[in-house]
Structure 1
Amino acid sequence: MPQLSEWVTGAEADGYHLQGFMSANVSVAEAAALVDLYWPKFVEYRDCVFLGFKFDRHAIDDWYGRLQGDSRAVESVLNHVHLWDYFVITLESEYAALPELAENIAVMWRAAVQAAFPDREFEIAVSDGSGDYGPTLRLTGR
């Protein structure tokens, strides 16, 4: 990706170093926001589990009515994240990196939800974005 390549080229050190790149480019506020996306908190409501950063009691209640109480369908509607909504994509190389990023986020979501609810089973679905609004993650109970 150009931003990373430019930084590596301009860096005094040999190649890419996580500490150097982050200290030059990522604020604590940005890092904290990324933690919320990568390792989310969860809210249990109406026998479902919802991503904390997307939790909206009124929307859940509305969708319960629309979907006739189908809990898994409600989770599916409300627990999906389009990465395009969270990252500004300006270059083709950034777009190309999103499917792998989505897979890595899914690994973290699986670990986070299992740590929070060890007695329940969940599915984290990942789409690469072809035929949808960019790479997308979706959390549902089983």
Structure 2
Amino acid sequence: MSEAAQFWELKPTAAEILNDVKARKIQEINAAYVATITPLVKEYPEIEQATWLAQESEARAYLAWHDNHQGGAPATPVLDNILLGRNGEDGTETLRDLSLAVLENADVFTQAQQLTGKRQRLVKAVRAAEAVEEIELISW
């Protein structure tokens, strides 16, 4: 680059610098969040994770019905198919057993959502910061 080109090169404004620092800090927070939450879900493929809400809903409905047997049993197509795969030809696991296991996992993951809230709080603080120094004080 010539000296003339360097002379006319515009330096970033304070607002641009602040926005860049904010973007980097948000990336840092998100990476820390992912690193913290990943061990809770690492053993589960994403396609299985996509069924978690259905599994939890079916498990809660089935256990509520199981406890009082009022009306007909709720439909549990996701859990029924999981149970068929888990039991194979001669398994002994029941739909109640599976439902209890699903809810145990769901409760652990629900408690872990505190981490989601923490991530959201930190990102909100970064976005509200008006100085680079404020942003530098924010950490996972």
Q: Work out whether the TM-score is over 0.5.
A: no
What TM-score comes out, normalization by structure 2 length?
0.25
| Greater fraction of residues in helix | 2
**Structure of higher RCO (CA pairs closer than 8 Å, 6+ residues apart):** 2
Which protein shows a greater Rg?
2
What TM-score comes out, normalization by structure 1 length?
0.25
| Greater fraction of residues in strand | 1
